């Protein structure tokens, strides 16, 4: 089916596995707008709204704009480079990592880290939506709403990219319209000039800290960009959708949150939304959470599928993994256990950014395996490195810098250290794999 020249639905693999371990073929690629609306949907969500409120609570309007722009530029650079890798190779993040610096076992570790991080956030955001639904439909306990919302998202993700595209066409406009209504209704009660020129209500937040919040808030999504851009048709499409989706998503939602924080002198957007607009506010939260939560689950399952194939040589259908992980995340949300893991999830968010730096440096500069990837354009390389100790050392060093060094923008610090460290290690010969073996993808390709 098409809308104008925009493909809304594209073929899926015959096993309904959404090419979890293989390249996405040309006939299954989408028009860039179909992918862009999902990228925009990830960023035009409640978390970005809350991020904007945090900036507005601690920064002037001008500094908040600068922080958003700086953070968005970092995200766009990461998203473009990792996205082009995904588009050219048609492979998910954890799979392509095998031939972009990490090897078989390193890519399996990446799959586990991504799965832990995104499954955790899937559960946390499921719990947020459940609490909101409970406020307008005071029937049954919150744990039941957690299960219902989590299982609804799981049902969407089971059918992969195509069903998620359909959801984006509904939830993204709904969220924009509802959030726009709230913002306009609130801000018309205040003088816009005073909001723009006024001082923040909370403790002062530095420009570097603000940019770190913006970049760090979605850096995991940028690292896993190949999961999405493997469905793109060209590198130009990746650039267009990244610049448009990230710029609009960050600017529109963050700046709306900044203005609300200046107007209402608080950073508690959830309370503002639910208390001031009731049913509409709850719809804002649910629609704003749904579009990012399906991608949390989707990328998580791709990481698990790759990790299982790496560790045990077992090819598991992505739909089965989606059902298991979706139920597990929903149950954990219902039990309230995930509230205690937010600090752990934050640490994972520091560990993940260097992955992008290593992958981009290997693919575009070092190019150890580019020839193999090019020769196997119709399938997958016949061989793969098993474990590259040097890469793991660079990864750990970069993550440590991101975690412990408080100067500047932590996400950018870890990215730069990963890129420079990997390049230097390659130049002095410290990236030799322990062995090179036949690829385990032979049976799956």
CB 55, CB 207: distance < 8 Å: no
> Given this model, what pLDDT does residue 5 score?
41
CB 292, CB 171: distance < 8 Å: no
Q: How many domains does the chain have?
A: 1
CB atoms within 10 A of CB 207: 15
State both tokens at 302: 């791709």
402 pLDDT more than 80: yes
> Given this model, what pLDDT does residue 268 score?
72
* CB proximity list for 383: less than 8 A, separation 6 or greater: 372, 436, 437, 438, 439
pLDDT digits (tens, 9 = 90+) for 89-103: 999 999 999 999 999
Residue 400 lies in a domain: no
12 pLDDT more than 70: no
pLDDT interval class at 236 (50, 70, 90):
very high
Residue 350 lies in a domain: no
Most confident of 61-65, 134-138, 256-260, 362-366: 362-366
CA–CA gap between residue 344 and residue 324 (Å, rounded):
22
The sign of the CA dihedral 57, 61, 63, 69 is: positive
Instruction: Give me the domain span that covers residue 40.
Output: 29-336
CB 213, CB 67: distance < 8 Å: yes
Query: Rounded to the nearest 10 degrees, what angle do helices 269-312 and 142-158 cross at?
Result: 50
> Given this model, what pLDDT does residue 342 score?
62
pLDDT digits (tens, 9 = 90+) for 274-293: 555 567 767 777 777 888 89
- 433: phi > 0 → left, psi -120 to 50 → alpha, else beta; which? beta
> Given this model, what pLDDT does residue 83 score?
97
Mean pLDDT of 171-186: 80
Q: State the chain's mean pLDDT as an integer.
A: 86
pLDDT digits (tens, 9 = 90+) for 312-350: 788 899 999 999 999 999 998 888 876 666 677 667 777
CA neighbor of 41 nearest in space, from 181, 174, 149: 174
CB 145, CB 130: distance < 8 Å: yes
Euclidean distance between the first and the last CA atom of the chain, given in angstroms as a whole number: 28
CATH number, domain of 74, equals 1.10.4160.10
> Given this model, what pLDDT does residue 230 score?
96
> Given this model, what pLDDT does residue 11 score?
39
Residue 292 lies in a domain: yes
1 pLDDT more than 50: no
Residue 23 lies in a domain: no
pLDDT interval class at 409 (50, 70, 90):
confident
3-class state of residue 383 by DSSP: strand
Residue 431 lies in a domain: no
pTM: 0.88
Comparison of pLDDT for 406 and 112, the residue scoring more: 112
Mean pLDDT of 68-79: 92
Residue 209 lies in a domain: yes
- Among residues of the chain, what percentage have pLDDT more than 70? 91
215 pLDDT more than 90: no
270 pLDDT more than 90: no
> Given this model, what pLDDT does residue 327 score?
95
Mean pLDDT of 11-32: 78
């Amino acid at each position: 089916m098409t809308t104008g020249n925009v493909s809304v639905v594209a073929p899926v693999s015959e096993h309904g596995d959404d090419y979890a371990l293989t390249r996405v073929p040309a006939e299954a690629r989408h028009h860039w707008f179909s992918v862009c609306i999902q990228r925009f949907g990830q960023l035009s969500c409640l978390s970005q709204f809350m991020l904007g409120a945090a900036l507005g609570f601690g920064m002037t309007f001008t500094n908040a704009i600068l922080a958003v722009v700086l953070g968005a530029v970092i995200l766009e650079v990461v998203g473009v480079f990792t996205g082009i890798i995904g588009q050219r190779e048609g492979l998910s993040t954890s799979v392509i990592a095998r031939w972009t610096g990490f090897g078989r076992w390193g890519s399996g570790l990446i799959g586990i880290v991504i799965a832990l991080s995104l499954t955790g956030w899937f559960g946390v955001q499921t719990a947020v939506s459940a609490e909101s639904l409970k406020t307008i439909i005071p029937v049954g306990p919150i744990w039941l709403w957690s299960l219902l919302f989590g299982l609804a998202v799981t049902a969407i993700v089971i059918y992969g990219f195509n069903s998620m595209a359909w959801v984006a066409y509904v939830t993204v406009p709904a969220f924009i319209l509802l959030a726009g209504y709230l913002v306009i209704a609130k801000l018309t009660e205040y003088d816009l000039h005073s909001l723009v020129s006024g001082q923040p209500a909370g403790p002062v937040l530095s420009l570097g800290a603000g940019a770190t919040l913006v970049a760090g808030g979605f850096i995991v999504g940028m690292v896993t960009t190949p999961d999405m851009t493997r469905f793109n048709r060209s590198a130009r499409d990746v650039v267009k959708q990244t610049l448009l989706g990230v710029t609009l998503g960050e600017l529109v939602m963050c700046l709306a949150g900044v203005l609300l924080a200046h107007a209402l002198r608080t950073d508690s957007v959830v309370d503002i939304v639910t208390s001031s607009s009731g049913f509409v506010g709850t719809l804002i939260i649910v629609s704003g959470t749904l579009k990012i939560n399906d991608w949390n689950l989707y990328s998580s399952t791709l990481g698990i599928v790759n990790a299982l194939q790496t560790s045990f040589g077992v090819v598991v259908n992505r739909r089965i993994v989606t059902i298991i992980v979706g139920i597990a995340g929903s149950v954990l949300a219902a039990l309230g256990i995930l509230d205690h893991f937010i600090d752990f999830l934050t640490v994972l968010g520091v560990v993940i950014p260097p992955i992008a730096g290593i992958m981009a440096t290997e693919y575009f500069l070092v190019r150890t395996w580019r020839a193999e990837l090019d020769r196997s354009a119709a399938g997958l390389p016949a061989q793969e490195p098993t474990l590259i100790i040097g890469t793991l050392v660079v990864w750990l060093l970069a993550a440590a810098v991101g975690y412990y060094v408080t100067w500047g923008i932590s996400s950018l610090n870890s990215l730069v250290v990963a890129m420079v460290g990997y390049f230097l290690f390659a130049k002095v010969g410290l990236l030799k794999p322990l062995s090179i073996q036949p690829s385990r993808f032979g049976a799956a390709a």
